[in-house]
Amino acid sequence: MPVALSHLDNGIDLILEPIVTAKTAAIGFWFSVGSRYEPKNQRGITHFVEHMLFKGTSSRTARDIALAFDRIGGYINAFTDRENLCVHCVVPSEYAEKAIEIMNDMMNHSLFSPEEIEKERQVIESEIISSYDDPEEAANEAVFQAIWPNQSLSQSIAGSVEDIASLVREDLLDWYTRYIQNGKLLICISGNFSERKIRAALETNPDRKKIFNEPPFSLPNPHEGFHFLSASFQMEQLFFCYNLEKPKTLQEYLHWHILNAIIGDTMSSRLFQSLRERAAYCYTVYSYYATSSDSALLCAYASASKKNVKKLIADMKKEMQGLFTLNISEEEVEASKQHLCGEEIIASEDPEQRMKQLALQYFLDLPLVNSEERIEEIKKTKVEHIEALIKNNLHVSKSAFALYGPSLDFYTKRMLKKKYKDEYAKK
């Protein structure tokens, strides 16, 4: 059935995707606030507020909220990213309205009790410290801050332990009032549900004032070139990134994912076959395409021991340089198209994945289409589309190379920088 976007009288945007064959409903409450919105003296506040939504309301304890979902075999969770806070659940279809009632309560009547705040502060501090022990997560944070130094796009989502220690109850309540109770809200639902009952459940929400409709951050200003980032981990981690504009059309968005599959998102991709299977330089190698409301990033990643890092850099650069020669084959494009179509078919059986994909399309100002329509668009892609994508968007002047790990000696750094300038900047 078709996807429908509507605007409720109380200020909520509502996306509904009925799936008559499903037995569950996936519900997402998407608030337009994330780490990019946070001032320097309140880093990590959105993530902290996300945690506090589960800590009790004026009519339910934290245990009540947990039991309500556990007893029906469903689950509720949340996440914060750079531009959104999402509270989402999956429940048997007959409990969809009950789930919305509980989520409405969490969004409008959370207590933020001083005792719960202090307990959750310890939980979040533990979460942050744990992230320091994850080499890949720590590397991504460091590279983002190198590419976008002192900019909102690279701000840590969770903040630091010192950031969290400085937040007081008044800060949290004010943020909750601005962005959760009164900020812009998208509710996206995919699965089997009664539209009439869903609308009735949502109409009980108070009018949203939408105080902060315009994002309080400027366009990102990336710092290209070579970045050496020292860390105490044993492995060197390499990032080769292209700063891009956000996709303007659904076709362009899908073309980037097809190209990404060719580069490093599959086991048969160029990077995986070259760096791992043939050269055996590394265990982990992949690429990804990430988007935000005002930009996008295509990134190739690999990790290797210090003894292999020079060879790894040379071969990774060679593979990325190969894109500029436009030597993309029909076979590669067809294989990537089949891969993405298969992913779409698998995801189509998961209402939660469908719900999240629709929300992403909404935030990127792309048409709201279902899995079948995305598959049809993927199938239309030709080699010349991918070649035009590369020619018009992948510019060396917008690239950044980052090396994160054990410190290299001065002469190795100088050699790598020289090769980067001499061999790559000519393209």
Task: Pull the structure tokens for residue 74.
Answer: 């469903």
pLDDT at 189 over 90: yes
Domain range summary for the chain, segments of one domain joined by +: 4-202, 225-424
CB 24 within 8 A of CB 91: yes
Task: Pull the structure tokens for residue 99.
Answer: 């789930």
Q: Which CATH architecture has domain 225-424?
A: 2-Layer Sandwich (3.30)
Greatest C-alpha distance within the chain: 69
CATH topology of domain 4-202: Cytochrome Bc1 Complex; Chain A, domain 1 (3.30.830)
Percent of the chain with pLDDT over 90: 79
Range with the poorest average pLDDT among 164-168, 317-321, 342-346: 317-321
Task: Pull the structure tokens for residue 57.
Answer: 């309301």
In DSSP notation, 244-261 reads EPPPSSHHHHHHHHHHHH
Strands (DSSP E) contained in 236-336 are: 236-244, 285-291, 296-304
Q: At what angle do helices 96-109 and 195-202 cross, to 10 degrees?
A: 20
- What pLDDT score was predicted for residue 173? 97
Contacts 24+ apart (CB under 8 A), 331-334: 332/262, 333/258, 333/262, 333/381, 333/382, 333/383, 333/386
Range with the poorest average pLDDT among 203-217, 231-245, 411-425: 411-425
pLDDT at 423 over 60: no
- What pLDDT score was predicted for residue 425? 45
CB atoms inside a 10 Å sphere around CB 127: 13
User: DSSP character for 33?
Assistant: -
Same CATH topology for 4-202 and 225-424: the answer is yes
**What whole-number distance in Å separates Cα of residue 138 and Cα of residue 237?**
10
Question: For residue 55, which phi and psi values (nearest 5 degrees)?
Answer: -105, 20
Enter the pTM of the model: 0.93
pLDDT at 427 over 50: no
pLDDT at 335 over 60: yes
**What whole-number distance in Å separates Cα of residue 319 and Cα of residue 317?**
5
- Span 317-335, mean pLDDT? 88
234-269 burial: b if 16+ Cβ within 10 Å, else e: ebbbbbbbbbbebbeebbbbbbbbbbbbbbbbbeeb
CB 311 within 8 A of CB 302: no
Range with the poorest average pLDDT among 190-194, 205-209, 255-259: 205-209
**What whole-number distance in Å separates Cα of residue 292 and Cα of residue 82?**
8
Question: What residue spans of 266-322 are helical by DSSP H?
Answer: 270-271, 309-321
CB-based contacts of 48, cutoff 8 Å, min separation 6 = 120, 121, 124, 159, 164, 167, 172
